[in-house]
């Protein structure tokens, strides 16, 4: 199944599609680039429909204000055998000759020297097989030069350093899922600031580490597609199969085709048949098959509530609609420079719950370049007062600001109990408890406490009983949640599984379940105090 943005929803007052430029990129590749291996070696590289669509959208969309390219970054995720390396080489050659950048600097970044060499050798072979390319491009040991425009293209590996200070116009990151860290990607991205229309492309297969920088970039792309994050300069195109538990569905041809747009062409049917047989007969190979041929991220963690279920519970309301009402709170305090959250849960007469979310982050942290998953979102969210995201001036967690906000909320609502994670919170909690007179209850973060709380919140969302006002920070945190299980099937959230923040969801879970715990305790106390009960028997 291909996941990408809805191009029909692009703002036509800001952008337009230049058919000539889109067609020019396609024609260049099909006219000058060739296959270099197998029975098609030396023959023109005729793009498949999905490749044409990707290239056309990447190069064809432009800004109306300056006629420059709309997209500055692209993320293409495909399984093995879908011609990723050949396509990457062809695009790289177009960027050297066809992009029109004077003094262009292009780089092809792989995880190791051997992989980088494979891509370079393909580009070199394409040049040698075409007289027109050979006329203009000169091949050296580790670079290709186009002297007419004073441009060059080099291949590098993540094992190599020395790129700091470069002035890149184009870079391509190959098989990002096997990179040990984000260093090469980060250097590429931060070396493009001086160019008018730089382009960074990441082409990869799914990986097996949900804490990796590649998964973070994949997750960022999915959130753009789902509308959780807005980034008009980023083009995500993701092909992935459904991760069915039913093996008949998982290994069906229809499911395999969802992830493999080149099925039946560069991917031979008999090869896939062999891989399916191997995955069915060897349980240890199943995850490898899912990752490499179905493009499914494999891990022992799993996502939680679906965005469609969450958005089905959206209701329009604000603070004014809940003034004077009873509520329960959750407080999740992160380390000194991260996101902190205070979430209120209000029980309604009809049995449903409503939420208000308040989040805090140092402004310096929100503006950090390594806050990739949030992108520019923190800054944008903070500009809308109804989002209640506060950028604090201190470089570390601003306990005074959080204290003042809770004091303000105490004047608006009846806060019955505040469930909190004790880690790093004791000093602030003691101050609020002693000076404001609010009740606090520590909430364990292990399986014993979190598993029933998580399952309760999930049930409430699915049944439509936990409503929200579409707070974007809470929605973003929810999309970041990964659950881990113990041997008994208990679950808890895992902050360690990725760099993305889940603090607002942690606070929501604690507040919601603390409400139910307190209600249950009140009911039990009433039964114990009843004059009609004794030793568990009712007397009339």
Instruction: State yes or no: pLDDT of 249 exceeds 60.
Output: yes
Question: DSSP for 55-123?
Answer: HHHHHHEEETTT--BS-SEEEEE--TTSSHHHHHHHHHHHHHHTS--TT-EEEEEESSHHHHHHHHHHH
> What does the pLDDT average to over 96-113?
92
CA-CA distance, 401 to 151, in Å (whole number)? Answer: 52
Q: How far apart are CA 179 and CA 212, in angstroms?
A: 8
Task: Kindly tell me if the per-residue pLDDT of 193 is higher than 60.
Answer: yes
pTM check: above 0.85: no
Provide the percentage of residues in the chain whose pLDDT is more than 70.
93
Residue 540: predicted pLDDT: 35
Could you tell me if residue 388 is left (phi over 0), alpha (psi between -120 and 50 degrees) or otherwise beta?
left
Q: How far apart are CA 82 and CA 287, in angstroms?
A: 19
Least confident residue range of 301-310, 316-325, 501-510: 301-310
Residue 539 has pLDDT above 50, yes or no: no
**Distance separating alpha carbons of residues 106 and 171, to the nearest angstrom:** 5
pLDDT surpasses 70 at 536: no
The predicted pLDDT at position 191 comes to 94
User: Is 538 a residue whose pLDDT tops 60?
Assistant: no
pLDDT reported for residue 380: 85
Position 93 scores a pLDDT of: 96
Reference 134, options 99, 106, 93, 171; nearest CA is 93
Pairing assessment for the beta strands 143-146 and 138-139 based on DSSP bridges: antiparallel
The confidence score (pLDDT) of residue 371 equals 54
Dump strand ranges (E) for 272-378: 301-303, 326-332, 340-347, 353-362
pLDDT at 364: 87
Beta strands, E only, 282-325:
301-303
pLDDT at 372 over 90: no
pLDDT (0 to 100) of residue 350: 95
Higher model confidence: residue 9 or residue 372? 9
CA-based torsion, 250, 253, 254, 259: positive or negative: positive
Q: How far is CA 503 from CA 303, 446, 476, in A?
A: 16, 15, 10
Percent share of the chain, pLDDT over 90: 72
As a three-state string, the secondary structure of 362-420 is EHHHHCCCCCCCCCCHHHHHHCCHHHCEEEECCCCCCHHHHHHHHHHHHCCCEEEEEEE
> For 484-501, what is each residue's pLDDT tens digit?
887 677 889 987 665 578
Tokens read off for 347: 């029980």
In this prediction, residue 490 carries a pLDDT of: 86
pLDDT at 328 over 90: yes
Could you tell me which residue, 389 or 300, shows the higher pLDDT? 389
Map out the domains of the chain with their CATH numbers.
2-239 (3.40.50.300), 307-525 (3.30.420.240)
254 has a pLDDT exceeding 60: yes
Average pLDDT over every residue of 410-429: 92
> In angstroms, rounded to a whole number, what is the distance separating the alpha carbons of residues 8 and 194?
31
Other beta carbons within 10 angstroms of residue 344's beta carbon come to 24
Has residue 215 got a pLDDT over 50? yes
Give the confidence band of 176 by pLDDT, cuts at 50, 70, 90: very high
CA distances for 196 relative to 92, 170, 235, 322, angstroms: 18, 11, 18, 49
Contact 200, 486 (CB under 8 A): no
Task: Give which of 320, 327, 331 is closest to 359, Cα–Cα.
Answer: 331
Predicted pLDDT at 283: 66
Cβ–Cβ < 8 Å for 477, 501: yes
pLDDT tens-digit readout, 441-485: 999 999 999 999 999 999 999 999 999 999 999 999 998 888 888
**pLDDT confidence band for 332 (50 / 70 / 90):** very high
Contact 94, 31 (CB under 8 A): no
Mean pLDDT of 344-373: 87
Query: If you average pLDDT over residues 316-320, what whole number do you get?
Result: 96
Q: Which residues pair with 362 in a beta bridge?
A: 392
What's the rounded Cα separation, in Å, for the pair 83 and 51?
10
Closest C-alpha among 133, 134, 160, 177 to residue 28: 133
Per-residue model confidence (pLDDT) at position 535: 47
Position 374 confidence tier, pLDDT thresholds 50, 70, 90: low
Q: How confident is the model at residue 299 (pLDDT cuts 50, 70, 90)?
A: confident
The model's confidence at residue 537, banded by pLDDT at 50, 70 and 90, is very low
Coil, helix or strand for 167? Answer: coil
* pLDDT at residue 158 in the model: 77
Strand, helix or coil for residue 441: strand
């Amino acid at each position: 199944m291909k996941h990408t943005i809805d191009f029909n929803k692009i703002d036509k007052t800001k952008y337009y599609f230049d058919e000539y430029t889109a067609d020019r990129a396609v024609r260049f590749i099909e006219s000058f680039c060739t296959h270099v291996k197998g029975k098609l070696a030396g023959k023109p590289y005729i793009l498949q429909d999905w490749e044409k669509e990707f290239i056309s959208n990447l190069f064809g969309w432009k800004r109306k204000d300056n006629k420059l390219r709309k997209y500055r970054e692209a993320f293409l995720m495909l399984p093995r055998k879908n011609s990723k390396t050949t396509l990457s080489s062809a695009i790289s050659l177009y960027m050297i000759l066809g992009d029109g950048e004077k003094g262009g600097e292009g780089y092809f970044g792989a995880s190791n020297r051997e992989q980088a060499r494979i891509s370079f050798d393909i580009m070199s072979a394409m040049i040698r097989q075409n007289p027109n390319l050979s006329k203009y491009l000169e091949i050296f040991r580790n670079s290709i030069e186009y002297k007419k425009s004073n441009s060059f293209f080099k291949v590098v590996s993540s094992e190599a350093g020395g790129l700091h200070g470069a002035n890149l116009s184009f870079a391509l990151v190959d098989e990002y899922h096997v990179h040990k860290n984000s260093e090469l990607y980060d250097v590429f991205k931060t070396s493009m600031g001086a160019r008018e229309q730089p382009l960074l492309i990441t082409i990869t297969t799914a990986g097996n580490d949900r804490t990796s920088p590649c998964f973070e970039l994949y997750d960022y792309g999915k959130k753009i597609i789902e509308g959780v994050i807005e980034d008009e300069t980023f083009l995500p195109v993701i092909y992935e199969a459904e991760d069915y538990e039913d093996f008949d569905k998982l290994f069906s041809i229809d499911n395999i085709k969802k992830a493999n747009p080149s099925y039946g062409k560069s991917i031979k049917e008999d090869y896939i048949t062999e891989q399916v047989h191997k995955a069915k007969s060897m349980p240890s190979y199943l995850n490898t098959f899912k990752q490499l041929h179905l493009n499914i991220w494999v891990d022992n963690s799993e996502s939680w509530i679906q965005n469609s279920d969450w958005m089905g519970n959206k209701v329009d309301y604000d603070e004014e609609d809940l003034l004077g009402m009873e509520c329960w709170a959750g407080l999740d305090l992160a380390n000194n420079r991260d996101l902190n959250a205070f979430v209120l849960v209000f029980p309604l007469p009809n049995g449903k719950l409503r939420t208000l979310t308040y989040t805090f982050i140092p402004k310096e942290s929100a503006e950090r370049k390594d806050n990739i998953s949030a992108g520019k979102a923190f800054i944008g969210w903070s500009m809308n007062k109804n989002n209640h995201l506060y950028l604090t001036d201190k470089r570390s967690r601003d306990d005074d600001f959080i204290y003042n906000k809770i004091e303000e909320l105490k004047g608006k609502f009846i806060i019955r109990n505040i469930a909190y994670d004790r880690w790093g919170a004791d000093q602030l909690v003691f101050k609020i408890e002693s000076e404001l007179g609010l009740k606090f209850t520590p909430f364990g973060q292990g399986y014993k406490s979190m598993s029933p709380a998580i399952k309760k919140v999930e049930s409430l969302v699915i049944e439509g009983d936990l409503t929200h006002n579409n707070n974007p920070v809470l929605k973003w945190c929810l999309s970041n949640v990964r659950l881990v299980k113990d041997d008994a099937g208990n679950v808890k959230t895992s902050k360690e599984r990725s760099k993305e923040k889940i603090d607002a969801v942690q606070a929501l879970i604690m507040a919601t379940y603390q409400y139910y715990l307190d209600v249950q305790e009140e009911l039990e106390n009433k039964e114990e105090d009843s004059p009609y009960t004794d030793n568990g028997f009712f007397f009339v």
